[in-house]
Amino acid sequence: MYSTVERISRFFTKIFADGASISMVAVFLIVFINSVRRYSIGKSYEWGEELPVFIAIYGIMFGMAYAYMQDRHVRFTILVGFLSASFTRKLYLLVDLIVIATGAVLSWSGWLFIIKRGGMESSGMINLAKSLKDITGWDQLIWLGHFYPYQAAIILGGILLAIAATLKLLSRLTKPQMPILVERETL
């Protein structure tokens, strides 16, 4: 069971790492291209100011899940160092359960956010969406000019965090426990 959980965990860890990496590369390229345009011809893309922020949010969500899978998230290890191994394990299991719930609440709040404000136009993206719609003739591309595809990062982040915490919980539950060696006194 443990090897199956570890194999699935490695698969998701790679997805999380790739998502964060691709997002950060995209942010860099958009900012770089926009900067070169601004300093060479004096004009930048209107969407080049807003889109990197939205992509960075997606990158942060992937990075958050990746950090949790690596057990490299923020925690108070100085306090944990004083606890017994048995109590530490129970504490980590409790934290995993809390993070699963937090991921679910984050996704739900993202959904509510989209329902309430997702249909609003994004000032930096609406003209790009209209241009893409005119060029391609696809009326459906207008959704790129509204907030909901970018606010969906909150839903995705909650789902990714819940997946990461669930896999971490399963890993901790199925990991073979190391036997405690007791030294015997010799006479």
Q: Which residues contact 126 (CB under 8 A, 6 or more apart)?
A: 145, 146
Q: Which residue has the higher pLDDT, 120 or 67?
A: 67
Q: Which residues contact 130 (CB under 8 A, 6 or more apart)?
A: 142, 145
Token pair for 11: 């698969």
pLDDT for 187 equals 55
Tens digits of per-residue pLDDT, 148-187? 788 889 999 999 999 999 999 999 898 876 655 556 666 5
pLDDT for 185 equals 63
Token look-up 């984050």 returns 106
Q: What is the mean pLDDT of the chain?
A: 87
pLDDT for 169 equals 94
* Contact in structure between 184 and 91 (CB atoms under 8 Å): no
The whole-angstrom separation of Cα 141 and Cα 68 is: 34
Q: 46 falls in which pLDDT band (50, 70, 90)?
A: confident
Task: Give the residue from 110, 184, 112 showing the smallest Cα distance to 151.
Answer: 110
Q: 79 falls in which pLDDT band (50, 70, 90)?
A: confident
The whole-angstrom separation of Cα 70 and Cα 168 is: 9
The whole-angstrom separation of Cα 35 and Cα 116 is: 34
Tens digits of per-residue pLDDT, 81-128? 787 888 888 888 999 999 999 999 999 999 998 898 877 878 778 888
The whole-angstrom separation of Cα 16 and Cα 11 is: 9
pLDDT for 146 equals 81
